[in-house]
Amino acid sequence: MPTLFDPTQAGDLELANRIVMAPLTRNRSPNAIPPDIAATYYAQRASAGLLITEATAISHQGQGYSDVPGLYGTEQLDGWKRVTEAVHQAGGKIVVQLWHVGRVSHNELQPDGGKPVAPSAITAKTKTVLIKDGVPGFVDTSEPRALQSQELPGIVHTYQAAARNAVETAGFDGVEIHGANGYLLDQFLKSGSNQRTDDYGGSIENRTRLMLEVVRAVTSAIGGGRTGIRLSPVTPANDAFDPDPQPLFDHVVRQLATLNLAYIHIIEGATGGPRELPERPFDYAALKAAYRTAGGKGAWMVNNGYDQALAGQAVKEGADLVAFGKPYIANPDLVRRLREGAPLNTPDKATFYGGGAKGYTDYPALA
């Protein structure tokens, strides 16, 4: 019986253990360029089997928060190159999370101050982070405009270009497509945000179309074995809602099963919150069974609120990888701490979003 600490394979990625650093937004990348200390931050955490970067915008249009990084400019790719080199030097593996926020944005963050884009012109009841004079603050997201169907191939192409640049130029081991948490691809999946009447709205097949086009474009550029995807069937994050998530997500994973992905990353329950939502029931075992029955061979990665005991149990019950979020903010040597049953440092919420080294690279490892 494998444990959390045994090596494994996810597609083409050979991982030293089954502990993953979840993607964590940190808002420390002015002009969308990862700072030099990002290399230190990620390298400090390189004993994880896999590091997933913070969500990283594939285009200016895909930006929704102040000071989050991108993958669409030379200096951004150079910044990431410094990160991947430091992580590889420390013996780690790192993939970048490809992000288009869709409607979860603000005019001030968009090209020419324009409207954010979305499946439908429905404002998300959520907030984004704007940093003014160095001080982060939460503001309402702006009213979006509905994407025209002829704009969608350009977005698919942008995901593909970002994936290619990530691997070929920035030196990443692969990519994770951000299909979760109420951002663009999740907005298309769920009928609460998608009221389109073209081929990208209405039926489950239609709402799934954009995500699958993106996955196919990315895998054709860099290979399925270096591509993962993150999904959040029931999270209320960013006003995401679908009245009938089980058949929707069972369909999504059955379709993904044919694309030979490295891994499927599932957020169970509310992102960063309760694992069980009585008002939004969901059968995760059935989801995994749908994927395996359809021939899916990718690693099954679970996330949300895991501690040592719950993670050990998940691996016993057949999870291949367990992603830890907040514990990784405060514990660069989380793998060692979990293995030794050592106490964990407590993350400081005040320094999650924005700032510099404090609360970023200064959490102590065990002596």
> Which positions are annotated as active-site residues?
183
Distance CA 321, CA 18 (A): 5
Q: Which is nearer to ligand 8OZ, 4 or 185 (CB)?
A: 185
Q: Is 275 exposed, middle or buried (0-12, 13-18, 19+ CB in 10 A)?
A: middle
What would the x/- binding string for ligand 8OZ be over residues 172 to 201, using CB under 6 A? ---------x--------------------
Single out the residue of 36, 74, 70 nearest to residue 56, CA to CA.
70
Q: How near is the Cβ of 89 to ligand 8OZ at its closest, in Å?
A: 27
Query: In terms of CB distance, is 4 or 328 closer to ligand 8OZ?
Result: 328
Should residue 328 be labelled a site residue for ligand 8OZ when binding is judged by CB under 6 A? no
Cα–Cα distance, 5 to 17 (Å, whole number):
5
Beta bridge partners of 97: 55, 176
Residue 65 is a binding residue for ligand 8OZ (CB under 6 A): yes
- Shortest separation between residue 239's beta carbon and ligand 8OZ, angstroms: 12
AA letter at 300: W
Going 162 to 25 to 215 to 151, the CA torsion angle's sign is negative
The one-letter amino acid code at 96 reads: V
Q: Is 345 in the site for ligand 8OZ (CB under 6 A)?
A: no
Number of amino acids touching ligand 8OZ (CB under 6 A): 6
Interactions with ligand 8OZ, residue window 36-55 (CB under 6 A): 55
Q: Contacts with ligand 8OZ in 3-32 (CB under 6 A)?
A: 25
Q: Tokens 């099954």 correspond to what residue?
A: 300
Is 42 or 65 the residue whose CB approaches ligand 8OZ more closely? 65
Q: Which of positions 213-272 make contact with ligand 8OZ (CB under 6 A)? A: 237, 271
Task: Give the C-alpha distances (Å, rounded to integers) separating 171 from 34, 68, 262, 304.
Answer: 14, 19, 17, 28
The interface with ligand 8OZ within residues 263-322 (CB under 6 A) comprises 271
Which parts of this chain interact with ligand 8OZ (CB under 6 A)?
25, 55, 65, 181, 237, 271
